[in-house]
Amino acid sequence: MNKLQFKGEWHELKGKLRQKFAELTDNDLDFAEGQEEELLGHLQQKLGKSQQEINELINTP
């Protein structure tokens, strides 16, 4: 997913992640343009998933 897609689909993706992982808070899912890598790293740490697993979660329709 490129940066434009990530930004454009973020609200939908955020909802899916919160449904799947109830332990995620609004602070965990704060997104600021240009901070995609930081967000992905935070999700990796919080969920105990690999970078590949996080990318699969985000890129799954």
Instruction: Determine the Cα–Cα distance for residues 58 and 40; give it in Å rounded to an integer.
Output: 9
Token pair belonging to 12 = 């939908």
Q: In the predicted model, is pLDDT for residue 27 greater than 60?
A: yes
Q: In the predicted model, is pLDDT for residue 33 greater than 60?
A: yes
Higher pLDDT, 5 or 14: 14
pLDDT of residue 48: 93
Instruction: Determine the Cα–Cα distance for residues 20 and 30; give it in Å rounded to an integer.
Output: 17
Token pair belonging to 56 = 């699969």
Q: In the predicted model, is pLDDT for residue 58 greater than 90?
A: no
Residues 18-42 have a mean pLDDT of 82
Residues 2-6 have a mean pLDDT of 54
Provide the mean pLDDT of the chain.
Answer: 79
In the three-class reduction of DSSP (H, G, I as helix; E, B as strand; rest coil), residue 15 is classed as helix
